[in-house]
Chain A
Amino acid sequence: EAGVTQSPTHLIKTRGQQATLRCSPISGHTSVYWYQQALGLGLQFLLWYDEGEERNRGHFPPRVSGRQVPNYSSELNVNALELEDSALYLCASRLGETQYFGPGTRLLVL
């Protein structure tokens, strides 16, 4: 069974640009979570999508947004990029209470 997949693996942008990150959950999982992990820090919850709807979001500005499409894949958009947005962005899908993570997208903002 394929795990959670994310693309791209690496992304380099400059300040002010927009970044779009993509995630495909494990087949049959309808919930997708996004986390930000800055270097040396813990996972910070960004967004939770389920059945195509945004169900919860963490304490991040509105320039961090996303969506979930009918096949349960998800996109994370970060607008007006700032240097502090440089981090590993992890997507997870959930079965029961357990979240299964994708390999992440490493975003570097120059």
Chain B
Amino acid sequence: GQNIDQPTEMTATEGAIVQINCTYQTSGFNGLFWYQQHAGEAPTFLSYNVLDGLEEKGRFSSFLSRSKGYSYLLLKELQMKDSASYLCAVSFATGGFKTIFGAGTRLFVKA
């Protein structure tokens, strides 16, 4: 089967760094996505990893290790507006780039 696991909730302090992990039990996927979703709103694209390694984009970085079945999203210099759910998803070349989403990690940023 295809399983994506993320922690349900995390709490961090404004200005700090937080790492949100994602593990998956699937293979043969094209790439791994991270999306941000504020409560009641649509998910917005954050990052896409195809190759192993770290992709940095401003305060957000995403890491992928296919051999370990593992990814993480790193958020630096946390701001209150970063309080949201973060969705990990894998996409496959077949089935119209079928994308399987994890349940998401709700991040609470406190002052």
Q: In the docked arrangement, what's the CA distance between A98 and B45, Å?
A: 8
Residues 85-110 of B contacting A (Cβ, < 8 Å): 87, 89, 91, 95-104
Q: Confirm or deny: A41 has a beta carbon within 8 angstroms of a beta carbon on chain B.
A: yes
* Given contacts A31-B96, A97-B91, A98-B48, A43 and B42 within 8 Å (CB-CB): no
B42 touches A101 (CB 8 A): yes
Q: Confirm or deny: A99 has a beta carbon within 8 angstroms of a beta carbon on chain B.
A: yes
Q: Confirm or deny: A42 has a beta carbon within 8 angstroms of a beta carbon on chain B.
A: yes
Query: How many A residues face the partner with a CB closer than 8 A?
Result: 24
B42 touches A55 (CB 8 A): no
A103 touches B101 (CB 8 A): no
Q: Confirm or deny: A56 has a beta carbon within 8 angstroms of a beta carbon on chain B.
A: yes
A98 touches B33 (CB 8 A): yes
* Given contacts A97-B30, A97-B48, A97-B91, A43 and B43 within 8 Å (CB-CB): yes
A50 touches B96 (CB 8 A): yes
Residues 50-69 of A contacting B (Cβ, < 8 Å): 50, 55-56
Q: In the docked arrangement, what's the CA distance between A90 and B44, Å?
A: 12
* Given contacts A50-B96, A56-B96, A56-B98, A101 and B43 within 8 Å (CB-CB): yes
Q: In the docked arrangement, what's the CA distance between A31 and B98, Å?
A: 11
> A31 contacts which chain B residues (CB < 8 A)?
96
Could you say which of A42, A50, A100, A103 contacts B45, with CB atoms under 8 Å apart? A100
> B98 contacts which chain A residues (CB < 8 A)?
45, 48, 56
Q: In the docked arrangement, what's the CA distance between A41 and B104, Å?
A: 8
> A41 contacts which chain B residues (CB < 8 A)?
103
Q: Confirm or deny: A25 has a beta carbon within 8 angstroms of a beta carbon on chain B.
A: no
6 cross-chain pairs, A with B, having the tightest CB-CB distances, nearest first:
A42-B103, A101-B42, A43-B101, A48-B96, A42-B101, A97-B97
Give residues in A with beta carbon < 8 Å to B: 4, 31, 33, 35, 41-43, 45, 48, 50, 55-56, 88, 90, 94, 97-104, 106
Give residues in B with beta carbon < 8 Å to A: 30-31, 33, 35, 40-45, 48, 87, 89, 91, 95-104
